[in-house]
């Protein structure tokens, strides 16, 4: 691959992480699940991609998220937050807050609208990102950082591109059934090893994929057990509260669109210095590793844990329903220098050819109603 060459310090860190992963493989009789490999590659203390010290987001990082494109995204979410807060409590919880830009934009917009936020809690695993968040949000005393889920919660929850970074297991279809793709070391390099899927994994495959007769032999895909577990824990927190809603933004599909023969190699993708590729073994610790989200599996996990699916829609419908077009018009179109960058960013967020259709929004919760302009865009029937 023609990718930027890492610095000597970055290479040293990656090599240290590779030794750590190889030692873990050795301790587990020569193979670990891909989920375990992905967990270590992303979250191993001090060395993993999200727990290390390198920049992740923006022009100096590996990818750009919606809040980094324009403050209009956060302002639109603030409008929705205000509608939910009016029905519940003046509290917001965000998972994986990135640079803190989304929290900054939401709190700024709500303050301008006269909406009081009593507490804005952030659950963040990355020490480097937590430090950036503290600096970005230093003027908002209501912000706090948590290491785990609260037992119960009333208010609004946001998670932007959280589910896609959760470890997945990889499976491949054989004539006799599904096999797991584990990770081993072969000739000094990480490599896949096909092993029989255990009963727990087979049950997860049956729940996610269901009838698989149309899928060809050799088909490879992801199983989202960790993300389903996250959804169950999130849903229990909401179930224990009074009135609340959680909004999860990510790229993905409902199950019937996910497991198609046209996706015969799965959706696993890596991001390094704004280059996308499919090799998860390339310099572990220096690149992001993601998979598309199975939103049907996420919705079922929420329902099983006792909360409602309030809505499922594409990002375009959500943002337009939240009034992002009106927010753009607060910038005078005749001020071309100020207006055009914001209009261009909005186009990227809502265009079906960009993020508007690929990115979806799953809303779960209890005892609240979505704003009418968003509820009318609901596609829950497609889950």
Q: Kindly report, residue by residue over 312-356, the tens digit of the pLDDT.
A: 999 999 999 999 999 999 999 999 999 999 999 999 999 999 999
What is the predicted pLDDT for the residue at 247?
98
What is the predicted pLDDT for the residue at 6?
87
What is the predicted pLDDT for the residue at 57?
44
Consecutive H or E run containing 23: helix 8-27
Residues 24-42: what's their mean pLDDT?
97
What is the predicted pLDDT for the residue at 273?
80
C-alpha dist (Å) from residue 147 to 59, 122, 130, 232: 28, 9, 11, 18
End-to-end CA separation in angstroms for the chain: 37
What is the predicted pLDDT for the residue at 54?
55
Residue 77 has pLDDT above 90, yes or no: yes
What is the predicted pLDDT for the residue at 58?
46
Domain boundaries, the chain: 66-166+234-258+291-382
Residues 26-50: what's their mean pLDDT?
95
Of 32 and 176, more confident: 32
What is the predicted pLDDT for the residue at 381?
95
Confidence band, pLDDT 50/70/90 cuts, at residue 153: very high
CATH number for the domain formed by residue range(s) 66-166+234-258+291-382: 3.40.50.12710
Residue 147 has pLDDT above 60, yes or no: yes
How large is the angle between the packed helices 225-240 and 199-208, nearest 10 degrees? Answer: 70
Residues 188-204: what's their mean pLDDT?
96
For residue 23, the tally of other CB atoms under 10 A from its CB is 10
């Amino acid at each position: 691959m023609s990718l930027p060459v890492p610095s000597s310090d970055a290479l040293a860190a990656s090599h240290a992480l590779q030794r750590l992963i190889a030692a873990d493989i050795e301790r587990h009789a020569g193979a670990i699940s891909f989920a375990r490999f992905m967990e270590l590659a992303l979250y191993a203390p001090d060395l993993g991609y999200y727990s290390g010290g390198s920049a992740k987001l923006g022009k100096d990082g590996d990818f750009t998220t919606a809040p980094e494109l324009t403050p209009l995204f956060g302002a639109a979410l603030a409008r929705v937050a205000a509608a939910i807060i009016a029905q519940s409590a003046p509290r917001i919880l965000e998972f994986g807050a990135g640079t803190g830009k989304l929290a900054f934009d939401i709190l700024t917009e709500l303050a301008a609208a006269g909406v009081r936020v009593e507490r804005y809690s952030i659950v963040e695993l990355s020490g480097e990102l937590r430090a950036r968040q503290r600096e970005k949000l230093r003027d908002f005393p209501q912000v706090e950082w948590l290491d785990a889920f609260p037992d119960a919660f009333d208010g609004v929850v946001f998670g932007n591109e959280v589910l896609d970074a959760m470890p997945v297991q990889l499976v491949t279809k054989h004539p006799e059934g599904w096999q797991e793709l584990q990770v081993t070391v072969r000739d000094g390099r990480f490599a896949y090893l096909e092993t029989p899927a255990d009963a727990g994994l087979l049950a997860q495959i049956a729940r996610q994929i269901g009838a698989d007769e149309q899928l060809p032999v050799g088909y490879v895909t992801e199983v989202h057990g960790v993300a389903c577990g996250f959804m169950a824990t999130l849903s229990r927190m909401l179930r224990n509260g009074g009135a609340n809603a959680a909004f999860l933004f990510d790229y993905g599909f409902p199950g019937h669109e996910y497991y198609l023969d046209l996706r015969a190699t799965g959706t696993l993708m890596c991001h390094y210095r704004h280059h996308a590729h499919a090799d998860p073994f390339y310099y572990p610790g220096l690149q992001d590793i993601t998979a598309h989200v199975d939103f049907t599996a996420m919705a079922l996990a929420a329902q099983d844990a006792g909360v409602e699916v309030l809505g499922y829609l594409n990002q375009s419908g959500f943002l337009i329903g939240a009034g992002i077009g009106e927010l753009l018009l607060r910038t005078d179109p005749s001020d071309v220098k100020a207006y055009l960058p914001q209009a261009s960013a909005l186009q990227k967020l809502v265009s079906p050819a960009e993020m508007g259709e690929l990115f979806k929004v799953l809303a779960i919760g209890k005892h609240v109603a979505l704003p009418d302009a968003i509820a009318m865009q609901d596609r829950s029937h497609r889950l």
